[in-house]
Structure 1
């Protein structure tokens, strides 16, 4: 019986040519002693056979007993490779130094990037502040296992920033920042009205500045003046301020699939490590070839550089995940709940500011082609006011005309 391939590679194997003597007697004794022989080929008075290195002392003893001569054809496995290395200490030393160099380079930060801000001067200032706090190309990566202290130090050095987040991915550090927005100091002085932006039924009127032109329970139409900036007979004009809460109706038509294809990871994966030089790469680890029905591949590559010069030698890790597809069936009740949730999100995202959902009604539910089709009526309470240039009744004017 042939041993597993990994056992042959790890333990080592010998392929031999037996000649002279009692070859049949050797084969029978090997069988009685449980010695594994494989790839057996008999050609006249010669017999080619392969055995594990650990079984060779027993095979050698039996060959001597039966007068069989041994000629080695092939030596394979880790022990012979290790023996080859021992005869070449310079190669072993070079390989060790290369591995040590890779380990040292992987344990350092080689690139610092800034995201979240558009101002180039501010990006340079953040990079300079990060260098002063200890984050710079060539810094040891072990210092940034916990980056809370670094984020606090950056916020103290950069008062223009509202928030700073630092993530370390391999040999790359990314500084994500949000800049403070200065408050607007402008004051509205241009006269204006507040008009209805959409058809609705008025619920509450809050006129802070100006004259209310509608009352609760009144139906209004788009463009209708709600709070006027004209005081008295229009002789004085002010910028109208306030809000009008009204009940607004939305009609939404939604379709929800009842059968949803799902794709998920099974948890099985293989990792492959490559040494990359330019566009050429060689695999150093991960030689398994799994037969996955579906795969998801994610690549992660180092970014080693000296100063601003990126090294041509990089380390790349590829992880292949097994992906399994399935189909999830929704009930009609769950599909209705999802339809209401989708409509709620859509209504709340409509322009007009904050909204409060007062109620929803599902009309005309229909199932066809594997989907649920519904019409949903949604009642909301929201501020329907919009600013518009001031409007005066015809004949009213602040000028007295020529000859006044």
Structure 2
């Protein structure tokens, strides 16, 4: 594949991830609105998100395994088609059953696109993976920053959100066409096998990469940090509702959170060539967890918002740096590793989302931050263990060009 095609493909990935971030986070501020519209409690909304997280987990792992075996382009297209269908249905009509179905479609689509685009990137570029993953997340956070702002404006001016979902569905349809035309076919692993090689042996070899202690610890870091932080993002408007802040305004606060996450990513890109990924990851997690503890206990709303912005900077690199560290342990089987580690991130949502919903419904919205803090503290412990593992055993298995 020539360098021009690689650059075009990478730019297309950035466009898809910007839309990805926008559409994921755009739904989160609507949780209180959706609960009222379909007349269900937060606990049942939490169950729906729980089911969606299971769908994401399964799709992450399956897509990761397949991306080492088949044409990744088809997998990305499959995920994009599901997202198009999901948002089109979201705009058409909504009751609780349909809400659950739509969440499942969207989560499978998100999980498939997330894993396969990351895997595709590691196949295209054997080096500088951390920088590419950080740029992918900058694109995602840019969309995540715009999503709540757009939704805040929609709610403030009393527009119907359903029309916005139709627009998102149309943009996904356009992205399907662009991706199909621009991106090449990319089949990886079995094309490299010598004639007469045992394909089942290659598959077992791919699974053995999941036994690497660094991959296991990285997966646990993502489980607790991403589970708690993704949950905090989903329930942030609900949390601030407990302090009397309207959804239209708390959506803007959520956008502020994503904006400062972008700043954190830019800083990480600047320093990733000077420091090891694990060093940036550990100290970022430590500082972010300290900020989260302050956010949980500060009573003043403006103080919470200020600390939330600083917290976003430190936490922003967790996902791209952890996945990059894991993928570089065995790049020839990076799809399997990424599917496994990203699945663990969404497994965290499986655990945390219903907990957030239950706590918000039966204990009070103000307790949401304490759940996030508990998950972050456990995640910090596993980050320290990963730091120690990589300090003793920094070696990795590079991919063959």
Taking structure 1 as the reference length, the TM-score comes to 0.16
Higher relative contact order (CA 8 A, sep 6+): 2
- Which structure's residues are more often helix, by fraction? 2
- Which is higher, the Rg of structure 1 or of structure 2? 1
Higher strand share: 1
